[in-house]
Amino acid sequence: MTFHSDDSTYVVKYMNLMGRAGVIRAILHLAGAKYTNEFVTMDEVAANRAAYPFGHVPVLIEHCTDGTTFELGESIAIEHYLAEKFGLLGSTPQQAALCKSIGYNIGQELYPHCFGAAIPFQQAIQDPKSDFNTKTLPQFTACHERWLNKNGNNGHYFGDQLTYPDLVLLNWVRLLDTMGVHFEENSPIKKLERVLKELPAWKGQYEDYHPVKMIDA
């Protein structure tokens, strides 16, 4: 995989864990971008919300080579911006739209059940009759296996190269695994996880980009 080159330097403002900044940091790392982490606590953010574009984190700060600084809030917007900069959205507007739509769908389908449900998620996954187990997970799995099979079940959504939705799905597969949700080993979803794990661009740091990992300062 050849990433687009970039001479900017970046700062990722977020807590000392991957969380919502997981895909952001993974893109920067895999692209070989120069970036640093600026850790903040939720108490610090709450005490000075005006210091952040929308009063919360993550925030990306880009120091450009022309001396200007660009600040961007909202994790999905940051992911899309970096994915475009580093060539992870295909080569046409249509491909970019598809990449973004798949990435958005993954989070949209799973996040409300994992973090926003009235019933605790651990209780939901232990109940075989829960909506998550009878509707959400089967529908999600069937949908994304269809997309991956359409591309030949080669571990990518499009072609034979890494694109943005690959990283979004990887992030969620690893997160769900920690919550007790496991996909079948012969699933195209697990195939994607195995293929992406072997990307040389991780430079031996694959485990450092686990979605629930704390970060060494």
Taking CA atoms, 89 is separated from 93, 109, 206, 210, in Å, by 9, 21, 22, 22
pLDDT of residue 4: 78
pLDDT in tens, the chain (217 residues): 667 768 999 999 999 999 999 999 999 999 999 999 999 999 999 999 999 999 999 999 999 999 999 999 999 999 999 999 999 999 999 999 999 999 999 999 998 888 876 667 778 888 899 889 999 999 999 999 999 999 999 999 999 999 999 999 999 999 999 999 999 999 999 999 999 999 999 999 999 999 999 886 5
* Topology of domain 9-86, CATH: Glutaredoxin (3.40.30)
Q: Which of 150, 162, 186, 191 minimizes the C-alpha distance to 103? A: 162
pTM above 0.85, yes or no: yes
| Domain chopping of the chain, boundaries | 9-86, 93-201
CATH of domain 93-201: 1.20.1050.10
Q: What's the order of all strands across the beta sheet hosting 69-73?
A: 34-39, 9-14, 59-63, 69-73
Q: Which residues pair with 13 in a beta bridge?
A: 38, 59
Common-topology check for domains 9-86 and 93-201: no
Q: How many CB atoms lie within 10 A of CB 40?
A: 18
pLDDT of residue 120: 74
Q: CA 143 to CA 97: how far, in whole Å?
A: 17
pLDDT of residue 117: 63
Token look-up 């996909």 returns: 183
